[in-house]
Homo-oligomer: A and B are copies of this chain.
Amino acid sequence: MNAIDYREEVSAQDAQAVRRLAEESGMFNSDEADIAAELVDERLAKGLASGYRFLFAEEAGTVQGYTAYGHTPCTRSSFDLYWIIVDSRLKGRGLGTKLMAETEKRVRDLGGTRIYVETSSREEYEPTRGFYVHCGYRLEAVLQDFYAPGDSLHIYVKELT
């Protein structure tokens, strides 16, 4: 693994990189990959007023993972982590954990005191839920059958100290 560069600036090519990461992960359907890519477009169109911040992790100029996050409207200092995706071929090498820590550092610098992240109760998201717990997030709430019957929403939170 080469050195990882972190980048906050967003460019037009990032929409494609984000779509590729979402599709290759096997965790998202094409509607969800569209939504992930649209977030990049909205950020490009509106700048920080979009409410979306990005952190890209690059190795030798190639995007290997990213997070999308932002201040939660109408809250004093809560942030949402909207997306975290890491190149599926790099899973297990700790890039996700590093990307999360780098994102939390930036949220803290922006005055954020807590980060919320949402995921599904479905079995295929068990590694995702385990990843959040590994990163120090705790399950704060469950919305039963939110996504569909038998598919609940799990809301995790981490208090930044």
Contacts and interface: CB of A to CB of B under 8 A. Distances in A.
A75 B148 contact: yes
A157 interface: yes
Nearest to A77: B148
7 contacts: A75-B148, A114-B146, A116-B146, A140-B141, A140-B143, A140-B144, A143-B155
Specify the main secondary structure of chain A where it touches its partner.
strand
A121 interface: no
Contacts of A74: 31-32, 35, 147
A151 B155 CA distance: 18
Given A72-B146, A75-B146, 19 more contacts: A31-B74, A32-B74, A35-B73, A35-B74, A76-B147, A76-B149, A77-B148, A78-B146, A114-B145, A114-B146, A116-B143, A116-B146, A140-B143, A140-B144, A141-B141, A141-B142, A141-B143, A141-B155, A143-B157
Interface residues of A, number: 25
A155 B155 CA distance: 12
Interface in A40-79: 72-78
Contacts of A77: 148
